[in-house]
């Protein structure tokens, strides 16, 4: 298969495959290199400069996300190179000068996390005057799902590249120039009036929480319990994490890229359309139709007895062939198994099918 060779990172011999970047090799070997603009699903951009490393023979520091590993290469990260660490200290400080900080002077925590905060804690940052760049969001944007805070944006362009390379709808792009550069849309229209499909992939990929789910903007990651499950809409079987707080779904996040069938992606329905679970229109009580022709709430015991008696009576009067059981491609495999078992074993009829038959 692929050709392998050895490179040295911080003095450690590491096996590399032909075509791999230095960052990929380092990650596999458990050597940490900070990144902001890197996402496995996207082509390397080398935009954020966080992952710069010293490469023997190269005059300048080089982005490990884009630099291809080569046989015998000697690489030093911030752990082994004072120069790289100094670069990181200055870089993080520059980012922070143009970023919302909390009372401790650290990049603020958001509902979508903030990688800059964790990184800043590892660096000896300098105190720089705030930049106050005149960046704009889209104040009139009425979309109910995706919020953008330019004060938290580091212009790594993960969101715009995701929108281009993965979702391929190009609803958002880097707009403006110089210090006014921001994440914009055509004519700075609200997302509902663009080609955006509200998949929320931009939120998922954003490293600093500049893009965040409106419905749960204030809920911090540590406040929720995540439950891994399978999406209940189409047949792709996307894995998703329901974020639970006080017995309610407050947010849906996707697993890391490369770990499940959906590669970290979700669509609008999977990521956002969960309000139905807690909706007031849900059936909450069993109901029986009374002599007045109306449905009336009742107990489970009575409802089950009524249902059983009704089905049994028809079976006695007309035979089991007069019964039909319609199961659901929306329910679990176990429930479908029980439904056909009820039809075949309890009522001795083969009249069992499911909704997706049509």
Partner 1 sequence: MFGAGAMTNSIPEIRDTEVMFVIGSNTTEAHPIIAMEMKVARQRGAKLIVADPRKIWLAEHADIHMQLKPGTDVFLLNAMAKVIVDEGLVDKDFIEKHTEGWPALRDNLAKFTLEEAEKVTKVPAALIREAAIIYASHKRAGIYYTLGITEHTHGTDNVYSLANLVLMTGHLGVRSAGMNPLRGQNNVQGANDSGCSPVFYPGYQYCNDESVRKKFGEAWGIGEGPGPGKNLNEMMKLVEHGEMHALYIMGEDIVISEPNCSVLEESLKNIEFLVCQDIFPNMTTPFAHVILPGASFAEKDGVFTNSDRRVQRVRKAVSSPGNARPDWEILGDFARECGYDMPKYEHPGEIYAEMAALSPKFSGISYERLEKNPRGLQWPCTTPDDPGAEYLHQGAPLRGKGEFSTVDYRESAELPDDDYPLILSTGRVLYQYNSATQTRRDEGTNAKAGENFIEVHPDDAERIGIVDGEQVKIVSRRGGIKAKVWLSGRVQLGCVWMPMHFAEEAANRLTNDAGDIVTGTGEYKVCAVNLIPLKDARKSSGSAALAAARSPKSA
- Choose between 118 and 307: whose C-beta lies nearer to partner 1: 307
Other CB atoms within a 10 A radius of the CB of residue 243 amount to 22
CB of residue 195 vs partner 1: minimum separation in angstroms? Answer: 10
Q: Indicate the burial class of 220 (C-beta count within 10 angstroms; 0-12, 13-18, 19 or more).
A: middle
Six-digit token string for 181: 């550069």
Question: How far apart are the C-alpha atoms of 190 and 175, rounded to whole Å?
Answer: 14
CB of residue 251 vs partner 1: minimum separation in angstroms? Answer: 12
CB of residue 132 vs partner 1: minimum separation in angstroms? Answer: 33
Question: How far apart are the C-alpha atoms of 201 and 177, rounded to whole Å?
Answer: 25
- Choose between 5 and 306: whose C-beta lies nearer to partner 1: 306
Other CB atoms within a 10 A radius of the CB of residue 49 amount to 17
Question: How far apart are the C-alpha atoms of 66 and 256, rounded to whole Å?
Answer: 21
Question: How far apart are the C-alpha atoms of 44 and 39, rounded to whole Å?
Answer: 8
- Choose between 102 and 335: whose C-beta lies nearer to partner 1: 335
- Choose between 217 and 273: whose C-beta lies nearer to partner 1: 273
CB of residue 178 vs partner 1: minimum separation in angstroms? Answer: 31
Other CB atoms within a 10 A radius of the CB of residue 58 amount to 12
- Choose between 121 and 312: whose C-beta lies nearer to partner 1: 312
Cross-strand bridge partners of residue 52: 63
- Choose between 178 and 294: whose C-beta lies nearer to partner 1: 294
Q: How big is the chain, counted in residues? A: 358
CB of residue 264 vs partner 1: minimum separation in angstroms? Answer: 10
Compute the Cα dihedral for 63, 65, 70, 76 and give only its sign: positive
- Choose between 18 and 332: whose C-beta lies nearer to partner 1: 332
Beta strands at 211-213 and 248-253: parallel, antiparallel or unpaired: unpaired
Do residues 270 and 233 touch, judged by C-beta distance below 8 A? yes
Of 84, 110, 107, nearest in space to 97 by CA: 107
Six-digit token string for 23: 């960052």
Three-state DSSP state, 79: coil
Three-state DSSP state, 89: helix
Question: How far apart are the C-alpha atoms of 39 and 201, rounded to whole Å?
Answer: 12
CB of residue 188 vs partner 1: minimum separation in angstroms? Answer: 18
Three-state DSSP state, 180: helix
CB of residue 127 vs partner 1: minimum separation in angstroms? Answer: 41
CB of residue 346 vs partner 1: minimum separation in angstroms? Answer: 4
- Choose between 176 and 320: whose C-beta lies nearer to partner 1: 320
CB of residue 257 vs partner 1: minimum separation in angstroms? Answer: 11
- Choose between 122 and 263: whose C-beta lies nearer to partner 1: 263
């Amino acid at each position: 298969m692929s050709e392998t060779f050895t490179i040295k990172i911080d003095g450690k011999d590491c096996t590399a495959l032909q075509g791999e970047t230095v960052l990929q090799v380092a990650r596999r070997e458990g050597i940490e290199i900070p990144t902001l603009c890197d996402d496995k699903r996207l082509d390397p951009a080398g935009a954020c400069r966080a992952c710069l490393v010293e490469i023997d023979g190269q005059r300048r520091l080089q982005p490990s996300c884009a630099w291809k590993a080569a046989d015998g290469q000697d690489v030093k990260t911030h752990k082994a190179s004072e120069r790289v660490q100094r670069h990181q200290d200055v870089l993080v400080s520059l980012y922070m000068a143009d970023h919302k900080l909390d009372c401790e002077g650290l990049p603020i925590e958001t509902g979508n996390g903030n990688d800059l905060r964790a990184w800043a804690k590892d660096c000896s940052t300098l105190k720089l005057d705030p930049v106050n760049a005149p960046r704009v969001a889209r104040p009139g944007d009425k979309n109910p799902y995706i919020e953008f805070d330019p004060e938290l944006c580091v212009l790594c362009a993960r969101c715009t590249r995701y929108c281009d390379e993965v979702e391929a709808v190009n609803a958002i792009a880097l707009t403006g120039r110089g210090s006014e550069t921001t994440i914009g849309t055509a004519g700075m229209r609200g997302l509902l009036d663009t080609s955006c499909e509200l998949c929320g992939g931009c939120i998922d990929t954003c490293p600093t929480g500049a893009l965040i789910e409106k419905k749960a903007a204030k809920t911090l990651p540590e406040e929720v319990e995540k439950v891994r499950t399978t999406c209940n809409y189409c047949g792709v079987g996307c894995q998703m994490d329901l974020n639970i707080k006080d017995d309610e779904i407050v947010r849906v996040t996707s697993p890391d890229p490369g770990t499940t069938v959906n590669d970290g992606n979700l669509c609008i329905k999977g990521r956002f359309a969960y309000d139905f679970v807690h909706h007031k229109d849900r059936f909450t009580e069993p109901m029986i139709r009374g002599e007045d022709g109306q449905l009336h709430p009742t107990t489970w015991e009575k409802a089950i007895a009524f249902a059983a008696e009704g089905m049994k009576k028809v079976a006695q009067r007309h035979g089991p062939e007069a019964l039909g059981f319609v199961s659901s491609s929306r329910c679990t495999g176990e429930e479908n198994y029980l439904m056909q078992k009820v039809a075949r074993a309890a009522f001795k009829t083969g009249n069992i099918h499911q909704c997706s038959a049509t």
